[in-house]
Amino acid sequence: MSPAPARPEPVRHRDRGTWLVQFTGRMLVVCPKCGGRAVVVPLPRLAAPRYVSELLVQPRRLSCAGCGAVAEWTAEQRGTGLVGAVPGGTEDPFFRRPLWLQTRCAGRILWAYDEEHVDAVAAYVSARLRERSVSPTRGMFARLPRWMKSADHRDEVLAGLESLRALAARTAPADRSDASHERGDRPRHHGSLYFRGGPY
């Protein structure tokens, strides 16, 4: 009698407290001029941030390779501090442009900032075993909506993430997803200030 085949090990995901802000270094958005794919990145030649939270106040540039549109963003000054952007929702937190990576999924809108963000969410969603090694207070995965975490929607969410991954390679206005438009669902500003040495 032949031995029973070995059962595959469950796909394991360990949450190390990744923040959503860690994916704001490069964001794909809808160009305000032509409707194609534009990119939002920190201004060139900036020093690397000492703290992850500095990403919320780093000056940004929006640029579109399709039509040449360029715009810049700087954090609002309030006293001796800078008002930090608030990530989350289907618009980028700096220019408030609709994210390029949006698609309809399980009756909702699935979105991501760029390919790295897609890969991180896919690794979490595909895992059969999820471990948390830090406090979930600010962690991105703990804050994902329940429908994305549900095993009932796993295949549908993974298919949606594959659609976003394919969309990331497209740039023309005609390639824009029908889900990618303004919704006004950015988080309400919580008034956080960033001072030298960290946010308060």
**Spatial separation of the C-alpha atoms in residues 30 and 97, rounded to whole Å:** 6
Alpha helices in 51-191, H assignment, sequence order: 115-126, 146-149, 154-167
Q: 63 and 84 in contact (C-beta within 8 Å)?
A: no
Q: Give the model's pLDDT for residue 49.
A: 81
How do the domains of the chain map onto residue ranges?
12-174
For each of the chain's 200 residues, which pLDDT tens digit applies? 555 555 554 576 667 778 899 999 999 999 999 999 999 999 988 888 888 888 899 999 999 999 999 999 999 888 888 888 989 999 999 999 999 999 999 999 999 999 999 999 999 898 877 666 666 566 788 888 999 989 899 999 999 999 999 999 999 999 999 998 877 676 655 555 555 455 43
Q: What residue has token string 């698609």?
A: 103
Q: 72 and 13 in contact (C-beta within 8 Å)?
A: no
Give, rounded to a whole angstrom, the gap between the first and last alpha carbons of the chain.
67
What distances in angstroms separate CA 76 from CA 18, 67, 70, 80, 86, one per listed residue? 26, 28, 19, 11, 13
Q: Give the model's pLDDT for residue 190.
A: 52
Q: Which residues contact 77 (CB under 8 A, 6 or more apart)?
A: 83
